[in-house]
Structure 1
Amino acid sequence: MFLCVCVSILTVFHPCSGGTGLRHAYSAGDIIIGGLVPVHLSTNRSPTPGPLSCIQYDFRTFLHTQVLIYAIREINQRTPKVLPNITLGYDIYDTCGDVSIAILATLQLLQKQPNPLSCQLNEDIQSTLTEPKTKVVIGETHSEVSIAVARVVALSSVTQISYASTSGLLSEKLKFPTFLRTITSDKFQTKAIAELVKLFHWKTVAIIGSDDEYGKYGSDALTVIFNQELICIEFVDILPGDFSQNNSKTHTWLNTLVKKINESTAEAIIIFTKDANVGIIMEAAIKYNFNRTWIASDSWSTSAEVSKMPGIELAGQVFGFISKRNEVPGFDAYVKSRFNKTTNAFLDDFNARYKLCSEQAESEGKINCTNRQLGQEQCLPLSCLAGYIDQDKSYNAYVTIYNCSKTCKPGYELKGTSKKCCKDCVQHLSTFTGDKCKSCSNTSYSSPAKDKCLDKTEEFLHWSDPLIIILTFLESFGIIVTVVFAVLFMIYRNSPIVKAVGGYLCFLELISLLACFCLAFTFTGRPTRASCMAGLPLFGIAFSLCISCILANLLQILVGFSFDLKIGSWMKKLNQPAAVVTVVSGIQLALCVPWLYYYPPYPYMDIVGTSIVLHCHKGSEELFIAMLGYNAFLGLICFLFAFKGKQLPDLYKNASLITVSMLVFLIIWILFIPIYINLVGKYKRAVECTAILISSYSILGGHLAPKCYIMLFRKEMNDETAITEYIRKHYEKNAETSLYSLAIRVWSYNLNSCICKLHKDLDANLFLIILLDMSQAVESTNGMSLQIYLNDHINGTDQILWERV
């Protein structure tokens, strides 16, 4: 249920208005403070004589009366007293925003004896007080009214203090000696408006003022400032004094103004008049959907009547100026407490117009702050009323659209058009180009407006790039895995499987792979001279060392297991691992050292559009191609040797795995060439890094990882017995004739030269084991034991080897 204060609607003039017919609130005191407040914004004044009625009741100015009453009560009731033995009274009039009513109210305030018919808070107090006298007049809001009041109060030397009148005319002390105010004059507001226009680089504006002291003075001041700042004023329109009456004359004037605004090219329209006039203009702006940029003077920048108009957003964007305000302590709570159960003429009038909701109704959320026309069962929440205490709000600001030219591109100049303040770009008729243009440097580019040079954006592989994060993880993971493999190979260095992959050569292979993974980091981040020189050249050297170790291991296997009598002694001379590694990697070193010394790679800026791509220039494309080609040649040789060795007995699938690794390496670098040539941008270096990582992982995963798996999980295969058994089974699969033929070829060959070339490593042992396994077949042919032959040909230095056999 609503608990509403039900009072019959009062007439426009309060019954306790006195003989003058003016609505006012009075409280007796030793000193009377007068007040002039436009509780109603205007009157129904017409050209013909007749009674006046106040219209457009305003919540905000109603609260101005209450805050004045509240402040006086606080002074009187405060303990200790601010004014000992003195009681302040008040006499506050509603001027209805009309000069005539304001002058009449001022004359009433200047009477020595207050009107006995005026409403009082306590009639008993009046009979005991001495003759009161108004010492100061607070108000009025509008400058036009304040100017008229100031001329009257100056006759009696009564001080007038205005809280809202900003007209610069009021600053002339010779004309208004007793006028004071708590707000700055329009001199500063007009300067602020001009600074706002300059801030947004607006070149043309329009001004709408009014035929009163506030509007005319403000419009004139703006005109002077804009002329000084060379800002074009498209038109200045001064509204008539009775524009707010909204009569037929108003409509005629409004239609003319709407046409001007609609045809205007002004970037901002400044309205320097009171909010009653602004409301009419904004209704038209909403109706015609102007969507312009407006600049509001302080008279209407916080007007609730304007800001709450339906569809106000269709009018456009508004920049408003307001003065700094101070909060009145306790007034918000005072309003929400239903004015602390006080009473005065304005409050009674308000209660008669609007029924205040109870606390229960507000707590139930049944409120309506937007509809001023309340029905019989509706009430006005106090929270809505309290919202008018501070009307400062923030709105989104947008820069206006300007259809005329301000600057022209090179080769064009500004020419005036039929519209005032509007110019278009016209091409020069002669070869003269006006201001000389300057070319931007290689590291900058011209802005779209062609008015300045903008720095180009540097692009390189940042560490935060998602692709680089993935590559960095793969590089780090490769380093860790390589170190772990090296530790395992060191632990099992005397095992058959380590010797099967080359013995000490596998450690050189791991070191070169570790170098490849580390060098991949040089392709990330801003290129430097050091990172460019270390990238591809050192990778070529490291990877050739890795391939040379694999090639030496393959030669050992092919020579050791080849029983072809056609193989000459020159082939067996190649079975020198150290020499093979030195010669093969030395050739690559001979290619890269001159590259680094004479044509070293260096950081290079590649201009691509508005970007600067930072990467490494190769220095010498020929030596770069030679390095890649040599590594590809080594990979092809390893691939062929490994493919040929797949037919040999290989328990660890060494040849097969090397075949796959070399095949991946060759395919990656074949694909690298067209991708690298056609790719443009910072990811060119990422392709290089990716190719290096895949090449390194192909050897790490294809050649070495299976060996580590056998070391850890298939230890039964890491044994000489398992190797011997595997070799025996391999040859048993062949036909008997094939074995017989092989044995005859081995026996018939000069075994002495073969034995002399054997070493005390696993390959020699396996070779002897093979011969012993085939001895029975040989004996049946020759009648001589292979063991006896070996005993006769093995010298003392190889006795230990023979004992093992």
Structure 2
Amino acid sequence: MWVSLCLFLCLHSKHLSASPITSSFTSSSGAYDSCHLQEQFRLVGMYRDGDVMIGGLFEVHLITVFPELSFTAKPEQPWCHTFDLDGFKAIQTMAFAVDEINRNPNLLPSVTLGYRIYDNCVKLGVAFRAAMALISGTEMSYSNLNCSGSPPVLGIVGDPGSTHSIAISSVLGLFRMPMVSYFATCSCLSDRRRYPFFFRTIPSDAFQVRAMMQILKRFDWTWVGLIVSNDDYGLHAAQSFQQDISGFGGCVAFFEILPKDNDLKEIRRIMDVIQHSVSRVIVVISTEAYILPLMDEVLRLNLTRQWIASEAWSMSPLFLTSRLLPVLRGTLGIAIRRGEIDGLKEFLLSLRPDNDPGNGLVRKFWEDMFKCRFAPDVAQTETEGRLCTGHEDLTTADMEYGDVSELRPAYNVYKAVYALAHTLHNLLNCVPGKGPFSGHSCASLHNIQPWQLLHYLQTVNFTTGFGDQVSFDKNGDALAIYDIVSWTGMPDGTMKARTVGDVDESKPAGHVLSLQDDKITWNFGNNKPSRSVCSEPCSPGTRKATKKGLPVCCFDCLPCADGEITNTTDSIECFKCPEEFWSNPQKIQCVPKEVEFLSYEEALGISLTAASLLGACACAGVLAVFAHHRHTPVVRANNSELSFLILMSLKLCFLCALLFIGQPRLWTCQLRHAVFGISFVLCVSSILVKTMVVVAVFKASRPEGQGAMKWFGAPQQRGTVLILTALQVAICTIWLTTASPVPFKNTQSSKIVFECAVGSMAGFATLLGYIGLLAAVSFLLAFLARNLPDTFNEAKFITFSMLIFCAVWIAFIPAYVSSPGKYADAVEIFAILASSFGLLISIFAPKCYIILLHPERNTKKALMARGSS
């Protein structure tokens, strides 16, 4: 940017008078031939010269102080304080990696690698100034106005912050300079259109979220609270989290954003939400600064929950303390992949100011961490702190600085440096004529441009000494792998994050998550993972029904309807059984339906069969009595021929009931209604003729009715019965030929019901209607003749029999329609038997009573006496 500004002014400002900007151009011959910096940023960093330079952006100081603006004087530059040991170790890991590469005869053998590293002080403003210094250099003057040659650095390792990386990558993209971050995880940086030169050796938040999903799914935690920081890191991760959690049936119980200013009122409001939620698992995707006030409130309320920590704070020493042990023990965290770097510990312990006097960061490290005050005269009287020479020993056994057992961000720094080194190595080993650039050309060592590294960086692939493969996908993301850590209480009262598994998406499906359950510590009384669900899973045989206004994880479990099943947990719908199957009582299995029909083996069938046979035998018995006493006055006076015909038809009526019992066949379906209809018409028509004869005999006994009997002789009686019965035969014939009843297997209910489909309801209704018509006429005639003299009167008995007959069949119709399956047949049989017994008893019981029990009344004199009386 400075160079561009100088060129612009050099070409277009010759006519301008001297100014603060134009005065920065100097010339020995009157022409402008160089540019001078007006001001330099005050940056803290490290430098090492080399043939090829790479840059670095790290967090070494945690707090930045910006002086107040007075608008009356030149503003002072910000200054940083509060030394961060982990950040310093990360910088020294980059320095170690560069030294190791320079000593390696197989990697960049003819090139010396150098670096320029700056501290970003965890502030975007400082990080941006450092990035600009890496892009344009720090030389006070610049004479090459053609901008030829290699730039100050060819690539940058860093920045660790997602927000910083977003801003810096947007500018670096204009200069086409690659940037390899070791800690920026925002999934937004995977957008190749916006950040084509951004790479990283740490997986993105999208994979971190998928790793969390694996853990939630592993322990069946479906009702999860989500708390994120109010920055790019937290908000983008929250978006991915909310999109992915529904993939395995989970839901977000509540979603809260931590305030930037640590507002206590807002934090306590969030705590109130946590307390009142039934969710026992809370995922926190945030950085340390946001979380610490929240955890102070959690400790104050002694709130026990299962915490899931993102990689930004899962290994933070701020939380692994005895103070937070009661509430944070058992926390599961997503941690950056741990690695080992041989020789790094010795390198760290060898750092002393006297070995590298120009390294301001090492001197700052001694001053801040060991309270040293350096002076040229070691005998000088100590005025503050401890007087150091830089020769002191750093090999203290318990020193945190020398602990390289948990190299996570530093290991990613190591991989980032080696990724750039392998990229340069592949670029310099390009075979002329086979290169990836214009005309298949290769890059020149003396004029390497940052954009030329892009092709080789995209395809770089190597394995570290620890055995991890390093490569980048099409979005510049590293291979997706994380460690899973569990926070365990130690004997000294502190906590330690112990690795208990990993999540590696390069493994086959189903084996992505690997956990050692016996090593996990839980912060609950039974030392087992808690349950966190809004609704308990629906067992087989039930289905989920969501509750209105609540997420899909909150539901009711409704039993499946009859004929439907589900044999899986949390089924959203029940499935109908095949046509000939039905659900078992538990609604988890389809079983064959029971076959149902009115059988001879069951109690109901046996009872009806017995009643039918009893009626037939009773008819036979009465017929035998009448045949034996056919010459007696009682039999002769009651028209013995019609009585015999009625008894024969009644016997057929009783026996036709047997056709309704047993599994329906074609011939039984066709015969049952035909025989039933014809038998009853024969019986009722005989009763009708008998009633008409009784009325005719009474009229013939009077002078005015002497000729009435000529119309009711024996031939006329037989002909009338025959004609009336023939009409029913015609009805049955037409019915059977047009729409014959057939066997039907009804599968609509819980049983397979074998029944006879009537074929034509009109035919069946006509058959019953004709019987009803004859019965009604018989009842009417008998009712009108009920007061005739007893000598000739059977009308009372016929009236009573017809009354029973009509009542039975009127009640039959609704009972038949409403009876299911075999019970419809049973109702019809009952109607047949009831009406038949009614006719038999009403008409023939009084006569049998006289014939068998009072033979003295079975004389002509007795009958004539009754008639005269």
The TM-score normalised by the length of structure 1 is 0.42
Would you tell me which structure has more helix in proportion to its own residues?
1
The TM-score normalised by the length of structure 2 is 0.40
